[in-house]
Amino acid sequence: MKFLDVAKLLNVCIYLRKSRADREAEARGEGETLARHERILLDLAKKRGYNVGAIYREVVSGETISARPVMQQLLQEVEAGKWDGVLVVEVERLARGDTIDQGVVSRAFQFSNTLIITPMKTYDPNNEFDEEYFEFGLFMSRREYKTIKRRLTAGRESSAKEGKYCGSKPPYGYLRVKLEGEKGWTLRPLPEQAEVVRYIFNLYVNGDCGQRVGMSKICRKLNDTGIKTMDGGLWTVPRVQAILRNPVYAGMIRWNSRKAIRHIQNGEIVISRPFTQDHILVEGRHPELVSKDLFRQAQEIVNKNPARPVTSLHVLRNPLAGIICCGKCGHVMTRKAPSKRQGDLLQCAYSSCDNISSKLPLVEKALVDGIQELVNGYKLNANTSEQGHLCSISEKEKIIQKKQDEIENLRKKKERQYDLLEQGIYSTEEFLERSQNTAKEIADCANSINTLQQEIQYEQALYLQQSSFIPKCENLLANYWSWDVSTRNQFLRELIEKAVYTKDTKNTWKNGDNISFSLDIYPKIQRK
């Protein structure tokens, strides 16, 4: 089906501002300016079929935004995305003022994708050629901004060299506090968190019972004891490494160590912040949490033990890797290597979790059997599903046609409202009220059409996906046990989003390989 095109009804407002030249013209008897401009812009809105939601009148003499309260209100609404466009007799009515004001106005319209509509031209702030109108004024604004930015950067760099803390958020273990009697900030230790920091460094350098503890084990120890991160989450290796790498804990201030670098990736600007050697490192105003010697030893260990890349020699031994999730804590279930007493086990990666492990082959077989049940269910309902799909689309298409006819009648109604305004039967206030009501009815119809069109597209995509899902599953079921571990995992990942495993009762020798766990399978297939 070719979907019907729903023309968008632009929701606009009118901005009227009386300039000094207008007041001089009125003094010469040339008529009231705002009334004349209002008629011009209302005629323009009628001709183009816009919905006028509000008319703003600025009669103050101020040239800057700060002296124009109506303009301030308008910009707030523009930034909030309330209007598709703003009607003015000439673009200068918006953009007058100093260079900063020009930049404020331009950015408000540009970032909200709001059109500036005049009788002569419609300006799209995101269009290169339309933007040139503002270019000279914005040049001066940008120059001022860069000057201020350089001044702020220089001030922060100077503060960092004086040992002050320049970050907006304190690191774990500290509280950001204002310096007494001078500008700037420093850090104050938080006793409980400070002890955790010392604990991390001592475990990593000195170890536990004479054996050095790695970052992963440190994470498990912290999580097992219920110690939370600053944001209340669980500890991870990157979080622990960030603490071990941060010289702030040795009483130092590091500034500008991760400069923003912009580059193009896949046609888009991407910002990266790699560590650089060209940075400030000075003695800070804050107390250290660990000695400089302990911090130095930690760096030596970290540098000697970089993250090991996965080599081509790595062989996958778990066909369920990344698929089975723990039903109690949400962590991924992992394979436990076989021992002399037992074979491969599937267990929760979180050591404190009480979810009971099972033999990995049993879970694997249960997953394959579950896929077979899914296929049987889809096949059983295949004919009914297809009939329901076709019937649903047909009904939605009929409703779309009715809504299209309703929109056409409402557009004619809107034209009559403009005629009644011109004839003086409607006051401006009555026109705005009735026009807004009609525009809302049109918008509701258009939204209904768009929703129905999306539902049709969704149903068509869903039907195609479901139709292809069954053959993929059947291929897996026919060949699964002949594949190697890596191939099994690959095909399972293509079909299964996840499977949630839960087990509360341990198996005994009496029940042998009887399944005593639950496995909820979530296939990669959309459902209504």
- Measured between alpha carbons, how far is 72 from 371 in angstroms, rounded to an integer? 61
Whether residues 114 and 17 share a domain: the answer is yes
In this structure, is residue 151 part of a structural domain?
no
Q: Which segment of 4-8, 23-27, 79-83, 135-139 scores lowest on mean pLDDT?
A: 4-8
Whether residues 443 and 385 share a domain: the answer is yes
- Measured between alpha carbons, how far is 326 from 229 in angstroms, rounded to an integer? 22
**What is the residue whose two structure tokens read 């293509």?**
494
Q: List, in sequence order, the alpha helices (H) in 206-308.
A: 215-224, 237-245, 292-304
The answer to whether residues 223 and 234 touch, using CB atoms and an 8 Å cutoff, is yes
Structure tokens at 468: 């292809």
In this structure, is residue 163 part of a structural domain?
no
Using N-to-C axis directions, what is the helix angle for 292-304 and 237-245, rounded to 10°?
Answer: 130
The answer to whether residues 332 and 326 touch, using CB atoms and an 8 Å cutoff, is yes
Residues 6+ apart with CB under 8 A from 316: 485, 486, 489
280-336 pLDDT, tens digit each = 788 999 999 999 999 999 999 988 876 554 444 456 788 998 899 999 988 888 888
- Measured between alpha carbons, how far is 168 from 181 in angstroms, rounded to an integer? 20
Whether residues 256 and 330 share a domain: the answer is no
In this structure, is residue 48 part of a structural domain?
yes
Instruction: Tell me the sheet residues that pair with 496.
Output: 523
3-state DSSP assignment of residue 325:
strand
458 vs 250 pLDDT, higher one: 250
Whether residues 273 and 353 share a domain: the answer is no
Q: What is the pLDDT of residue 6?
A: 39
486-509 pLDDT, tens digit each = 899 989 988 899 999 999 888 765
Residues 6+ apart with CB under 8 A from 108: 75, 78, 79, 114
Q: What is the pLDDT of residue 509?
A: 56
- Measured between alpha carbons, how far is 354 from 342 in angstroms, rounded to an integer? 20
Q: Which segment of 159-163, 175-179, 247-251 scores lowest on mean pLDDT?
A: 159-163
Q: Which segment of 97-101, 126-130, 246-250, 319-323 scores lowest on mean pLDDT?
A: 97-101
Whether residues 380 and 426 share a domain: the answer is yes
In this structure, is residue 6 part of a structural domain?
no
Length of the chain measured in residues = 528
Q: What is the CATH number of the domain that holds 59?
A: 3.40.50.1390
- Measured between alpha carbons, how far is 265 from 253 in angstroms, rounded to an integer? 33
The answer, yes or no, to whether residue 359 has pLDDT greater than 70, is: yes
397 CB burial (10 A radius; 0-12, 13-18, 19+): middle
Instruction: Tell me the sheet residues that pair with 54.
Output: 13
- Measured between alpha carbons, how far is 501 from 517 in angstroms, rounded to an integer? 7
Backbone angles phi, psi at 367, to 5 degrees: -65, -45
The answer, yes or no, to whether residue 365 has pLDDT greater than 90, is: yes
Structure tokens at 142: 């940008």
Structure tokens at 453: 């069109």
In this structure, is residue 225 part of a structural domain?
yes
Structure tokens at 358: 């099972």
Q: State the total domains in the chain.
A: 3
Q: Which of 298, 152, 99 is nearest to 212 (CA)?
A: 298
Indicate the residue among 279, 304, 329 that finishes a domain: 304
In this structure, is residue 156 part of a structural domain?
no
3-state DSSP assignment of residue 336:
strand
Mean pLDDT across the chain: 81
Whether residues 206 and 127 share a domain: the answer is no
Confidence of residue 378 (pLDDT cuts 50, 70, 90): confident
Q: What is the pLDDT of residue 219?
A: 87
Q: What is the pLDDT of residue 24?
A: 61
Structure tokens at 120: 């002569």
Q: How many other CB atoms are there within 10 angstroms of residue 392's CB atom? A: 14
Q: Which amino acid is at 190?
A: L
Whether residues 292 and 227 share a domain: the answer is yes
3-state DSSP assignment of residue 51:
strand
Whether residues 490 and 397 share a domain: the answer is yes
Indicate the residue among 304, 325, 340 that finishes a domain: 304
Instruction: Supply the range of the domain harboring residue 253.
Output: 174-304
Q: What is the pLDDT of residue 20?
A: 58
3-state DSSP assignment of residue 413:
helix
Q: Which segment of 52-61, 308-317, 459-468 scores lowest on mean pLDDT?
A: 308-317
The answer, yes or no, to whether residue 517 has pLDDT greater than 60, is: yes
Q: Can you give the pTM of this predicted structure?
A: 0.41
Q: How many helices and strands (H and E) does the chain possess?
A: 14, 17
- Measured between alpha carbons, how far is 515 from 373 in angstroms, rounded to an integer? 17
Q: What is the CATH number of the domain that holds 222?
A: 3.90.1750.20
Q: Which amino acid is at 470?
A: I
The answer to whether residues 346 and 363 touch, using CB atoms and an 8 Å cutoff, is yes
164 vs 140 pLDDT, higher one: 164
Residues 6+ apart with CB under 8 A from 254: 246, 247, 248, 279, 280, 281
DSSP assigned state of 521? E
DSSP 79-134: HTT--SEEE-SSTHHHH-S-HHHHHHHHHHHHHTT-EEE-SS-EE-TTSHHHHHHH
How do 115-117 and 85-87 pair as beta strands? Answer: parallel
Q: How many other CB atoms are there within 10 angstroms of residue 38's CB atom? A: 18
Q: What is the pLDDT of residue 341?
A: 75
Q: Which of 414, 415, 393, 409 is nearest to 445 (CA)?
A: 409
Q: What is the mean pLDDT of residues 20-43?
A: 76
Share of the chain above pLDDT 70, in %: 79
Residues 6+ apart with CB under 8 A from 95: 101, 102, 105, 106, 134, 137
What distance, in Å, lies between the first and last C-alpha atoms of the chain? 21
Q: Which of 86, 73, 125, 81 is nearest to 103 (CA)?
A: 125
Indicate the residue among 269, 304, 339 that finishes a domain: 304
In this structure, is residue 168 part of a structural domain?
no
Whether residues 398 and 297 share a domain: the answer is no
Confidence of residue 361 (pLDDT cuts 50, 70, 90): very high
Whether residues 140 and 69 share a domain: the answer is yes
Q: What is the pLDDT of residue 498?
A: 92
Q: How many other CB atoms are there within 10 angstroms of residue 3's CB atom? A: 14
The three-point CA angle 519-524-528 to 5° equals 100
In this structure, is residue 154 part of a structural domain?
no
Whether residues 335 and 214 share a domain: the answer is no
Q: What is the pLDDT of residue 1?
A: 38
Instruction: Tell me the sheet residues that pair with 178.
Output: 185
Whether residues 502 and 454 share a domain: the answer is yes
